[in-house]
């Protein structure tokens, strides 16, 4: 999930108010949340953890003892920001080994607190707004699957397009959208009725799907098409196609929780495209000092900082959204793939 | 029933699909000269196979024999009709030498001399049927690079299938495709800025690491998709250098319309009794269909896809990835005989016209 608005709202309504209350009782200042950036590194089979305030690498979580054979890829965060889910699979999708799984990482301790099997090469994951379900795109078997976030019980599976890739749950929890690279489609699942509603043709080789803050739109990147398809979620139809250029190779999307902007990682041009969703126009292209081939992208819940996971330079670029510029590059693991922000309410 | 439902869904949904035919690059070789590209690809494939088998002495493994068989069963069909029209003697000579090569290889005799003969004849054919100004054009070169990268047994697919299907000879084929791509790229470098050239060379170096020798490693294990990322990136880098769009499936509807036109031309050749030229057209169509349309149509309009895919397979032996997977499970279906190729051509044309409708045309 690249959708920190829900995360921000949940924190405001829940843990943060509790902390505020306690702080008032104790007569102390309100504690600030702190953020941690998680970067899944495909080739070193680990996850780099970065303190977003200092820009320092504070931990590296080994995911498998078989780097080069097993890889972490897509990640998602629980609504309260405290658990990061990561999909783990074998490089060889034919293999159905025990490494096909979803991990739950406690943001405060960086410990893997749960893991459950998700056979079929899970590529990306999403969390339902109530935090009770994790959804996965199972690449090798062309399925979308829902799991109980605590027990790991598989709740449902659906046939989707070939080479399932991206997955997102709408902010109201009603829809699950699952992209498929080889059929160029998005499959829409009614999460309550547990049935496939329709399949939507989008741009060529769709990668990632994200919902807008109000859930009225879904944005789908198309890597070969060089586009972002805009889907009206009331009709599940493509209503606009934003052209980023055929060489852009867009992958992950970060939705700014504080504005109408979305940030799109352009792996082909080593750029981040900033799109104003009120006009569906590119308002900025950030290239200077960017790392090479950004695929992953995440934004802090306060909307102030964007991070990209750069697969060819094995690094993270830090973008200050106020200036729309790269302010720092941080080393990550080999083949930095995806990025996600976890939250420690009240900070450490 | 399910198929009809799927198709109905597809038709209704794609009405909203906004075709994204971006004119970012000046040339679209797979749309502008599909038959020329297909013929050239056929000859490039022969050169790729010859280089691969030339790395090994007799007797050749059964696996490598498959590469030789593909020359006579498939590659040459992509251009022999046009070659025969231009130079019937050369066409016959080439077919004879290919047969000679097959015989030598089957009997475990030294095949290197025949390899040289077939190569020389193929190069003569190349000079004859592909105009020299076309051969030098960046768009033509870029499209061939795309063919040898994304096509069946090419750089990306060859590696994936070599590992996934445990077919080591496909590794050798992929290695040889890479050597051809490097030769083609050397003709394109003059159009690249130093930074662009450095980026492409970096991707080629990564592919060189993957295909480190013609001999497949033992055991042949690893990430089947390892070659795909640098190969895809390389093509993305080459497009602006050549000012040519080489991913023909970006606009599937436009591609389907283009395939209908090529297929209609093929059927006219069949109707005129020129089966070899007709078959060339079906190869050009089948290649693009399998590479770019089969996935979507197989999912959204399986009845249309089944008709198209079965006819393409019967006429050419070309299969899309999904059909190959099914065949692996079924232990290889026999390719059916086609009693009436002209009729089959028309059936395929009808299926492609339906595909255009499914895609919103």
Residue A224 has pLDDT above 70, yes or no: yes
Q: Measured between alpha carbons, how far is A264 from A276 in angstroms, rounded to an integer?
A: 11
The model's pLDDT over A115-160, given as tens digits with 9 standing for 90+, comes to 999 999 999 999 999 999 999 999 999 999 999 999 999 999 999 9
Residue B15 has pLDDT above 50, yes or no: no
Predicted confidence band of residue A205 (pLDDT cuts 50, 70, 90): very high
Instruction: Kindly give the pairing relationship between strand A315-320 and strand A325-331.
Output: antiparallel
Return the pLDDT at B326. 64
Best mutation target among B200, B236, B256, B357 (most A Cβ atoms within 10 Å) is B236
Chain A CB within 8 Å of residue B22 CB: yes
Contacts of A224 in chain B (CB under 8 A): 232, 247, 249-250
Return the pLDDT at A14. 44
Q: What is the separation of C-alpha A85 from the centre of its chain, rounded to a whole number of angstroms?
A: 10
Residue B13 has pLDDT above 70, yes or no: no
Chain A CB within 8 Å of residue B228 CB: no
Residue B96 has pLDDT above 50, yes or no: yes
Task: Report which DSSP code applies to B191.
Answer: G
Token digits for A241?
A: 């196609």
Q: Which of A201, A224, A246 sits opposite B14 (nearest CB)?
A: A201
Token digits for A135?
A: 């959804």
B300·A199 Cβ contact <8 A:
yes
Predicted confidence band of residue A339 (pLDDT cuts 50, 70, 90): very high
Cis check: omega of the bond before B219, within 30 degrees of 0: yes
Give the DSSP per-residue string, A60-128: EEE--S-BTTEEEEEEEE-TTS-EEEEEEEESSTT---TT-EEEEEETTTTEEEEEEE--S-EEEEEE-
In this prediction, residues A50-59 reach a mean pLDDT of 97
Predicted confidence band of residue B347 (pLDDT cuts 50, 70, 90): very high
In this prediction, residues B161-174 reach a mean pLDDT of 88
Return the pLDDT at B243. 97
Give the DSSP per-residue string, A168-224: EE-TTS-EEEEEETTTTEEEEEETTTTEEEEEEE-SSSEEEEEE-TTSSEEEEEETT
Q: Find the residue in B nearest to A160 (Cα).
A: B299
Torsions phi, psi of B206, nearest 5? -65, -40
Return the pLDDT at B14. 37
Say what percent of chain A tops pLDDT 90.
Answer: 86
Return the pLDDT at B1. 33
Task: Report which DSSP code applies to B19.
Answer: -
Chain A CB within 8 Å of residue B240 CB: yes
Predicted confidence band of residue A29 (pLDDT cuts 50, 70, 90): low
Residue B21 has pLDDT above 50, yes or no: no
Give the DSSP per-residue string, A125-163: EEE-TTSSEEEEEEGGGTEEEEEETTT--EEEEEE-SSS
Return the pLDDT at A30. 61
Predicted confidence band of residue B344 (pLDDT cuts 50, 70, 90): very high
The model's pLDDT over B48-80, given as tens digits with 9 standing for 90+, comes to 999 999 999 999 988 899 999 999 999 999 999
Distance from CA of B1 to the nearest CA of A (A): 16
Contacts of A280 in chain B (CB under 8 A): none
The model's pLDDT over B298-337, given as tens digits with 9 standing for 90+, comes to 999 999 999 999 999 999 999 987 776 665 555 556 788 8
Best mutation target among B295, B322, B328, B357 (most A Cβ atoms within 10 Å) is B295
Return the pLDDT at B9. 36
Return the pLDDT at B19. 37
Q: Measured between alpha carbons, how far is A52 from A41 in angstroms, rounded to an integer?
A: 18
ipTM score for this prediction: 0.86
CA-only gyration radius of chain B, Å = 20
In this prediction, residues A243-272 reach a mean pLDDT of 97
Q: Considering only residues 68 to 87 of chain B, which have any Cβ-Cβ distance to chain A shorter than 8 Å?
A: none
Which of A207-216, A247-256, B320-329 shows the lowest per-residue confidence on average (mean pLDDT)?
Answer: B320-329
Contact, A243 vs A223, CB < 8 A? no
Residue B7 has pLDDT above 60, yes or no: no
Residue A1 has pLDDT above 80, yes or no: no
Annotated domain spans of chain A: 34-344
Instruction: Return the bridge partners of A35, or none.
Output: A343
Chain A CB within 8 Å of residue B13 CB: yes
Contact, A253 vs A264, CB < 8 A? yes
In this prediction, residues A250-274 reach a mean pLDDT of 97
Residue B225 has pLDDT above 60, yes or no: yes
Say what percent of chain B tops pLDDT 70.
Answer: 91
Residue B155 has pLDDT above 50, yes or no: yes
Closest CA to A183 of B295, B265, B321, B107: B295
Contacts of A184 in chain B (CB under 8 A): 252, 295-296
CA atoms within 13 A on the CB side of A130: 9
Contact, A320 vs A290, CB < 8 A? no
Distance from CA of A158 to the nearest CA of B (A): 14
Burial class (CB in 10 A: 0-12, 13-18, 19+), B275: middle
Closest CA to A199 of A212, A184, A210, A188: A188
- B353 vs A2: which has the higher pLDDT: B353
A183·B226 Cβ contact <8 A:
no
Residues of chain A that touch chain B, judged by Cβ-Cβ distance less than 8 Å: 68-69, 91-94, 161-162, 180, 182-185, 198-201, 203-204, 224-227, 235, 237-241, 243, 245-247, 249, 268, 293
- A221 vs B337: which has the higher pLDDT: A221
Return the pLDDT at A15. 45
Please state which of the four CATH numbers 3.40.800.10, 3.10.580.10, 2.60.40.1120, 2.130.10.10 is assigned to the domain occupying A34-344.
2.130.10.10
In this prediction, residues B114-140 reach a mean pLDDT of 97
Residue B12 has pLDDT above 90, yes or no: no
CA atoms within 13 A on the CB side of A7: 30
Residue A16 has pLDDT above 70, yes or no: no
Mean pLDDT of chain B: 91
Best mutation target among B250, B292, B305, B360 (most A Cβ atoms within 10 Å) is B250
């Amino acid at each position: 999930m690249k959708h920190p608005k829900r995360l921000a709202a949940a924190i405001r309504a829940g843990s943060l108010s509790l902390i505020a209350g306690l702080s008032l009782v104790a007569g102390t200042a309100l504690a600030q949340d702190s953020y941690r950036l998680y970067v899944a590194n495909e080739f070193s089979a680990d996850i780099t953890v970065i303190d977003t305030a200092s820009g320092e690498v504070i931990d590296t979580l080994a995911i498998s003892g078989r780097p080069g054979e097993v890889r972490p890829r897509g990640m998602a965060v629980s609504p309260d920001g405290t658990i990061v889910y990561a999909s783990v699979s074998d490089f060889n999708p034919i293999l159905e080994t025990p490494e096909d799984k979803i991990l739950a990482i406690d943001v405060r301790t960086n410990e893997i607190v749960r893991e459950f099997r998700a056979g079929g090469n899970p590529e990306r994951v999403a969390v339902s707004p109530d935090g009770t379900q994790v959804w996965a795109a199972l690449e090798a078997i062309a399925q979308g699957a829902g799991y109980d976030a605590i027990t790991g019980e598989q709740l449902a599976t659906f046939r989707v397009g070939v080479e399932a890739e991206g997955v997102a749950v709408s902010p109201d929890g009603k829809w699950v959208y699952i992209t498929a690279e080889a059929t160029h489609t998005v499959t829409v699942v009614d999460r309550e009725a547990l049935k496939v509603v329709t399949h939507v043709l989008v741009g060529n080789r769709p990668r990632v799907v994200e919902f807008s803050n109000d859930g009225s739109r879904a944005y789908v990147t198309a890597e070969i098409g060089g586009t972002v398809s805009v889907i009206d979620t009331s009709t599940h139809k493509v209503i606009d196609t934003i052209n980023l250029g055929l060489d852009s190779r867009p992958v992950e999307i970060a939705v700014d929780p504080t504005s109408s902007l979305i940030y799109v990682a352009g792996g082909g041009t080593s750029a981040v495209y900033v799109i104003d969703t009120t006009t569906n126009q590119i308002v900025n292209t950030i290239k200077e000092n960017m790392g090479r081939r950004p695929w992953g992208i995440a934004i802090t819940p306060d909307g102030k900082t964007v991070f990209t996971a750069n697969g060819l330079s094995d690094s993270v670029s830090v973008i200050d959204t106020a200036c729309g510029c790269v302010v720092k590059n941080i080393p990550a693991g080999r083949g930095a793939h995806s990025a996600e922000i976890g939250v420690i309410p009240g900070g450490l | 029933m399910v198929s009809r439902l799927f198709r109905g869904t597809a038709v209704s949904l794609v009405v909203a699909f906004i075709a994204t035919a971006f004119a970012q690059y000046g040339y679209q070789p797979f749309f502008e000269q599909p038959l020329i590209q297909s013929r050239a690809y056929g000859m490039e494939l022969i050169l790729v196979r010859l280089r691969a088998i030339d790395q090994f002495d007799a007797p050749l493994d059964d696996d490598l024999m498959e590469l030789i068989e593909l020359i006579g069963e498939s590659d040459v069909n992509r251009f022999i009709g046009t070659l025969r029209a231009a130079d019937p003697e050369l066409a016959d000579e080439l077919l004879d030498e290919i047969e000679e090569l097959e015989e030598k290889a089957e009997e475990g005799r030294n095949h290197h001399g025949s390899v040289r003969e077939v190569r020389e004849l193929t190069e003569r054919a190349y000079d004859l049927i592909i105009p020299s100004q076309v051969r030098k054009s960046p768009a033509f070169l870029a499209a061939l690079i795309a063919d040898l990268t994304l096509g069946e047994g090419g750089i990306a697919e060859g590696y994936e299938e070599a590992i996934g299907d445990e077919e080591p000879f496909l590794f050798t084929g992929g290695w040889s495709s890479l050597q051809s791509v490097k030769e083609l790229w050397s003709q394109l470098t003059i159009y690249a800025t130093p930074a662009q050239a450095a980026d492409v060379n970096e991707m080629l170096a990564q592919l060189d690491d993957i295909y480190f020798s013609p001999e497949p490693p033992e055991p042949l294990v690893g990430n089947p998709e390892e070659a795909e990322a640098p190969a895809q990136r390389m093509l993305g880098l080459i497009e602006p250098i050549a000012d040519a769009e080489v991913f023909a499936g970006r606009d599937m509807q436009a591609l389907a319309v283009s395939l209908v036109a090529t297929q209609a031309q093929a059927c006219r050749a069949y109707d005129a009794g020129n089966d070899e030229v007709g078959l060339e057209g079906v190869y050009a169509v089948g290649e693009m269909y399998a590479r770019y349309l089969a996935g979507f149509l197989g999912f959204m309009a399986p009845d249309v896809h089944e008709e198209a895919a079965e006819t393409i397979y019967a006429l050419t032996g070309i299969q899309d990835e999904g059909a190959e997977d099914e065949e692996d499970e079924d232990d290889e279906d026999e390719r059916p005989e086609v009693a009436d190729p002209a009729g089959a051509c028309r059936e395929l044309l009808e299926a492609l016209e339906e595909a255009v409708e499914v895609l919103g045309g």
